[in-house]
Amino acid sequence: MVKVTADSTCDLTPELLRALDVTLTPLAILVGEQTFHDGVDIVPADIFRYVEKEGKPCSTAAVNVYEYHRLFEELLETYDAVVHINISAEFSSCHQNAALAAKSFENVHVVDSRNLSSGSGHVVCLAAEMAKKGIPAPEIVKALEDVIPRVDASFVIDKLDYLHRGGRCTGLEALGAKLLKLKPSIEVHGGKMTVGKKYMGSFERSLENYVKDKLKDIEDIDLRRVFITHPACPAETVERVRELVRSLASFEEIIETRAGCTISSHCGPDTLGILFIRKTPKAI
């Protein structure tokens, strides 16, 4: 049997994690001098309270080598092999640490998803579905190497305040976006975050145009599954996006997931993306 594990940054729903038998390794969330663990003793609502009401800075820290080693060792008492999927090595040292821990074992396979949030979640789902079918770990890893370049992950951000606090954009950029009512899309290309198209107007109008842009090449989209991922958008906003996605593409599954503390601490509450898999590698 193959066990699939992943970082907490994959942002899959508890229902999916249970159904697919996926175990998560939580990243550390640093709030002032306190340390929490993503999804264990802290959730995005806590992040927003700390930042906006208490003025406390929040940051993230990778899972360390010892924690990965302990997890792999424990799982190999029950399973024949482990396939672990990390957030992109460009965003965190989690992958480096997991790979170091895996050197102590012959049957632990560590995969860099080259992605984040439910972009990584797509990779985790494929791995877990294959594991449930009894497919050996090396074949799972080979299939993941094929799908990773085809994951299309992006988000639209309402305000750049959180990116500014985290040092990922300047105060001038944040102020300019606010004054011009620009809502940038953040795209993942080659494992790195880049700024994509900038939308003008309200967050809702920007999301509408963003979804239309993302789904315009429908013939190149794998229609098995799409994630609508956000930290804390209003239900009516999410429902409008869901209806628009449904009207533009006949996905077999449209799954809403909540972004965890890692995405939330960098992007803020009003952030939403649709994440899916393409039939061909995503253009850079």
- The answer on 137 and 11 residing in a single domain is yes
Domain annotation covers residue 283: no
Query: Could you tell me the pTM of the whole model?
Result: 0.92
- The answer on 204 and 122 residing in a single domain is no
The mean pLDDT value for 7-19 works out to 96
Q: How far is CA 176 from the centre of its chain?
A: 27
Please give the residue range of the domain that contains residue 170: 151-278
H/E stretch holding 209: helix 203-214
- The answer on 92 and 215 residing in a single domain is no
For residue 144, give the 3-state DSSP assignment. Answer: helix
Length of the chain: 284
Give the end of a domain, one of 113, 132, 148: 148
pLDDT at 177: 45
* 215-258 per-position pLDDT tens digit: 999 999 999 999 999 999 999 999 999 999 999 999 999 999 99
pLDDT at 181: 62
The residues, ordered by sequence, that sit 6+ positions from 234 with a Cβ below 8 Å of its Cβ are: none
Q: Check if the beta carbon of residue 169 is closer than 8 Å to that of residue 41.
A: no
- The answer on 248 and 170 residing in a single domain is yes
Specify the CATH number for the domain of residue 259. Answer: 3.30.1180.10
- The answer on 50 and 71 residing in a single domain is yes
Give the end of a domain, one of 123, 148, 173: 148
Domain annotation covers residue 73: yes
The mean pLDDT value for 137-163 works out to 89
| % the chain with pLDDT above 90 | 72
Give the C-alpha separation, 6 to 120, whole Å: 9
- The answer on 141 and 6 residing in a single domain is yes
- The answer on 102 and 18 residing in a single domain is yes
Give the C-alpha separation, 267 to 62, whole Å: 18
- The answer on 184 and 122 residing in a single domain is no
Q: Which residues of 225-237 are buried (b: 16+ CB within 10 A; e: fewer)?
A: bbbbbbbbbeeee
- The answer on 256 and 220 residing in a single domain is yes
Query: Following DSSP, what letter does each residue of 116-131 receive, concatenated?
Result: -HHHHHHHHHHHHHHH
Give the C-alpha separation, 276 to 225, whole Å: 7
Q: Sign of dihedral through CA atoms 113, 87, 237, 160?
A: negative
| % the chain with pLDDT above 70 | 92
- The answer on 43 and 124 residing in a single domain is yes
Give the C-alpha separation, 185 to 207, whole Å: 9
How many domains does the chain fold into? 2
Q: Check if the beta carbon of residue 58 is closer than 8 Å to that of residue 262.
A: no
Domain annotation covers residue 230: yes
State yes or no: pLDDT of 164 exceeds 70.
no
- The answer on 224 and 189 residing in a single domain is yes
- Res. 180 pLDDT band, cuts 50 70 90: very low
* 255-283 per-position pLDDT tens digit: 999 999 888 887 888 899 999 999 999 76
Domain annotation covers residue 9: yes
Domain annotation covers residue 196: yes
Token pair of 240, please?
């409008």
- The answer on 233 and 142 residing in a single domain is no
DSSP state of 216: S
